[in-house]
A and B are shown apart, each in its own frame.
Chain A
Amino acid sequence: MMPTATEIEALRARLPRAFSPSPQERLRRVLVWGGAAALTVYCLYRFGFFTWNFADGVLKFGSVVVAQLFPPTGWDQLPMFLRVMGETLAMAFLGTVLGAIVAFPLSFLASKNMMPFRPLQFGTRRFADLLRAFDYLIWALIFVRAIGLGPMAGIMAIAIVEVGTFVKLYSEAIENLDRKQMDGVRAAGGNRLQIIRYGVLPQVLPMMVSNTLYMFEHNTRSASILGIVGAGGIGFLLADRLRAYELQEACLIIIMVVLTVYAIDFLSKKLRERIIGDGHRPQVADDLPQFAEPKAK
C-alpha cells in the first residue's frame, strides 16, 4: 500500500535525518562543491577561457587545424614513415629488454624475502622509485644532451624508467612467492641454486614475462612521442610536420601510430593470456588503476 502524503509528512517530521543529511553535512557539501566550482571558474579565467583569444583559437582550431588534417597525404613518403615506425618499435623493445636485464638482479636485492640486509633492500626500492619518478620525456631530454640526437637517447630513457618499474614489479612478484615449493626442493636435498631454479623461477617467471610484455606494449606509446624532444622514433617526424604546418602528413603519421599501438596492444594481450591465463595487467605509476569488479547484485 502506498503511504499517503500526510503519512510521509509525519515521517519526515519524526525522522528528519532519514530524508536529508544533517545541516553540518549539508554545509560541508556546499563548501566543498562551491569551493571546487569557484576554483574552476578562477582557473578558466586565469588561463584565458573568457577572452577573444580563446574564441579565435577555437575558430582557428576548427578551420585551420582540424579542416587541414584531412585527408591524410604524403603516401609517397610511406616507406620512410614505416621504417621510422619500425625504429620506434625497436626502441621500445630494446629499452624494455635492457631495463628488464638490469632490473632482474636488482629485484632480488629489493625483495624482503631474498635480501635479509634491510637497508640495502630498502635503498634499492627507493632508488627504483626515484628512477620511475621522472617521466620518459625528462630522461630523454637529459640523454639527448648527453649522447646526442637519435634513437640511442630514447632507448636509454625507456631503459632507465623501466629499471625502476621492473624492480618494483619483479620484487613484488618475488615477495608473493609461495615458500612451500622452495621448502619442498630443500627437503628433497636441493642446494641454494637448485632452490632458486626449481623453487623460485617457475613461480615468478610467468609473472615477470607477462609484466615485461605489458611494459613493452606501454613503451610503444612512449617511444612514439620521445622523438618530440629529439630522442628518435616517429615522434620526431610528427613534431616536424606539425611545426611546419604539414598537417595532412602529420595526420597520416598519427593514424599510423594509433594503428600500431592497437596492433601491439592486441598481440601483447593475446600473448599474456597465453602465458598466465588471465589478462593480468600490472599496475604502474602512469597507468590506469585496477579496481575490484563492482559486484553484480
Chain B
Amino acid sequence: MSVSQAAAQFERQYAEYRRSKTVWTVLFWALFVVCFVVSLVVTRFDVVALVVGLPRTTDFIVKMIPPIGWSTFGADVDEWYWGIGKWLNSLLNTLLMAYLATVLGTTIGGALSFLAARNLVKSYAVYWITRRVLEIARTVPDIVWALLFVLAFGIGPLAGVLAITVHTLGAQGKLFAEVNENVSPLPIEGIRSAGGNWLHEMRYGVLPQALPNYMSYTFWRIELNVRSATIVGFVGAGGIGHDLFTSIQLLYFADAGAILLIVVATIMAIDMLSERFRHRLIGKEQLSQ
C-alpha cells in the first residue's frame, strides 16, 4: 500500500468517524430539546412567576437574619435566639433520633445482610426474598415511611425513628451484603473444615474481614441520618424539622433563620467528626476520596 493509498484510507475512515459522531450529537441534542420543551409544558413553567418570585425569595432569606448592630450585638443575638432552649432540645431529639435509627437499622440490616449475600446462603429463595425486602425498605423514601408511621404511632419522634430505621436497614443491608459477597472464601472454608457451623463461619470467617467496611458505612450513615432526622419533622415525625416547618409556614423568618443556622452548623460538625472517625478507623487509603 502506497503512502497516498494509506492517506486516502485514513481520510475515508476519519470522514466516516466524523459523520457517525455528528449523527450521535444531533440525536442527543434533538432528544434533549424535546425533553426540555415537553418539561416546560408539563410543569406549566412560568417565567413571569419566576421573575416575580425570585426577589421575594431573596427577600425571605435576607429577613432570616435580623438586623444586628455592633453596639447592641449581645442583645440582638439574644433576641434573635429567643427560643434557643426549645430549639436545642429539639436538636438533641434530632441527634438522638439519628443515633437510635442508625443503631437499630444497622443491627437489623447487618443481620439481614448475611442472608442477602449470594456466597453465604445456600437457599436461593432466602436470598431472593431478603434482597427484595431490603430493596423495598430502601427505595421508599424515608419521609414516606415517616408519613406511614405517623398514621400508626401518632405525631412525634417515635414515628421518625422508625421511618429512618426502616430506610437505614434497607440501605445498610444492601451495602453490607455487597461487602460480604467480596470476602475471601478461604477463612470460611478453614472454619468449616475445623467443624464450625454456619454461625461460626459468619462470626469468625466473614465478620473480621468485613468489619472495617461496615464501620465506615455506618459512620457515613450517621451523617445521612442526621440530615433525614431534620427533615422528617416536616410531616410531624419529630425533631427540629418540626420547629423549622412551623416557623416557615407562619412566616417567622428570623426564627427560621436561627434554626437553619443551628441545623447547618450541626450537620457540618457531624460530617467533620464522622469523617475524622472514618479515617482513623480504616486508614485514609481505603477511601477512594
Contact = CB atoms under 8 A, between A and B. Distances in A.
B92 to A, nearest CB: 10
B68 to A, nearest CB: 19
A150 B53 CA distance: 13
Nearest to B32: A97
Nearest to A241: B147
B53 A254 contact: no
A221 B96 contact: no
Given A133-B268, A155-B43, A146 B53 contact: yes
Contact of A87 (B43, B99, B224): B43
Given A57-B158, A228-B147, A40 B103 contact: yes
Interface stretch (A5-13, A112-120, A282-290): A282-290
Interface in B110-165: 136, 139-141, 143-144, 147-149, 151-154, 156-158, 161
A286 B224 contact: yes
A288 B57 CA distance: 31
Interface stretch (A14-22, A72-80, A137-145, A191-199): A137-145
B153 A40 contact: no
A252 interface: no
Given A47-B97, A135-B230, A142-B61, A232 B43 contact: yes
A297 B186 contact: yes
B216 A65 contact: no
A239 interface: yes
A202 B153 CA distance: 55
Interface in A81-123: 86-87, 89-91, 93-94, 97
Contacts of A97: 36
Nearest to B271: A285
Given A91-B43, A291-B287, A224 B141 contact: yes
Interface in B53-111: 53-54, 56-57, 59-61, 96-97, 99-100, 103
Contacts, number: 190
B39 A288 contact: no
Contacts of B49: 147-148, 152
Contacts of B153: 53-54, 57, 60-61
B50 A152 contact: yes
B202 interface: no
A155 B45 contact: yes
A147 B53 contact: yes
B286 to A, nearest CB: 6
Contacts of A130: 264
Contacts of B264: 130, 133-134
5 contacts: A40-B103, A43-B161, A57-B153, A65-B151, A238-B144
Given A46-B96, A60-B152, 5 more contacts: A90-B40, A134-B263, A134-B264, A292-B288, A293-B182
The 9 closest A-B pairs by CB, nearest first: A147-B53, A90-B39, A61-B152, A57-B153, A43-B100, A151-B43, A146-B57, A90-B42, A146-B56
